[in-house]
Amino acid sequence: MSSTWALHNALKAWTLYNLSESELRLLLLGLSENELKLAKICKKQDSEWQRVDKTQHAGLLTRQGLETYSSAEGYPAVHHDVGSACDTEYFVIKPNKVIQPRLHKRYEIVVPCTLVGSKEFLTETIDLSEGGLYFKDIIPSFIAGYFLVIVDGRYRLMCSLVEDQKEKKRVQIVSEESDAHFVQYKAWLSTL
């Protein structure tokens, strides 16, 4: 397979060239939703870069069957170095902390909110943006997975908890861009 693709990740400011279609697919599937929105791809000899479109590039955004990558036929067996300096049990990999630029303007405003999971939870925001909300109170454990947040009694947004937080106070908005409530919420934010 020839290496004809290039990928530009605008959010993390890197570009890779001479990628095969499989390499491009693997990289695209590893990007976050926000990285994917800002990513651009092109083929060798194209006149310009193009944004990754979920419809136009559906073939690049679908996972190949596991059988494509799990057949070990023709490859040597992998030996695990148990008890040696190469034993993976001895490695602790600490990821570098990278501060990402903000995608959305943050508004520091107190707004009443209702989180709806198996029960309802009333709280107020400390700040909010197009991407998420930060609450005054710790979110209780009965709010999990995907749940509804009713902002100011008017805007119903589908959300999920932000991972890796010490105190569970921040949620990310996962509503579709075309969702009527999300569109109204964004319009309201632009008036603040």
In the prediction, which pLDDT does 124 show? 97
Cα–Cα separations (whole angstroms), residue 112 to 72, 109, 155, 171: 56, 10, 11, 15
List, for the chain, all residue ranges whose pLDDT scores fall below the cut of 70: 1-2, 64-71, 79-93
Instruction: Give the per-residue pLDDT at 133.
Output: 96
Domain boundaries, the chain: 5-68, 112-189
Question: Which residues does 145 contact at the CB level (< 8 Å), separation at least 6?
Answer: 117, 160
Q: What is residue 86's predicted lDDT score, i.e. its pLDDT?
A: 58
Measured distance CA(7)–CA(19) in Å, rounded: 8
Residues in a beta bridge with 43: 5
Q: How many alpha carbons fall within 13 Å on the CB side of residue 72? A: 3
pLDDT for 67 equals: 61
**pLDDT at residue 10, rounded to an integer:** 86
pLDDT at 119 (0 to 100): 92
Q: How confident is the model at residue 96, as a pLDDT?
A: 75
pLDDT of residue 81: 62
Q: Report the CATH fold assignment for 112-189.
A: Thrombin, subunit H (2.40.10)
Q: What is the pLDDT of residue 147?
A: 94
pLDDT of res. 44: 92
Question: By percentage, how much of the chain surpasses pLDDT 90?
Answer: 50
pTM over 0.85, yes/no:
no
Which residues touch 178 (CB under 8 Å, ≥6 apart)? none
Helices and strands counted in the chain (H then E):
4, 10
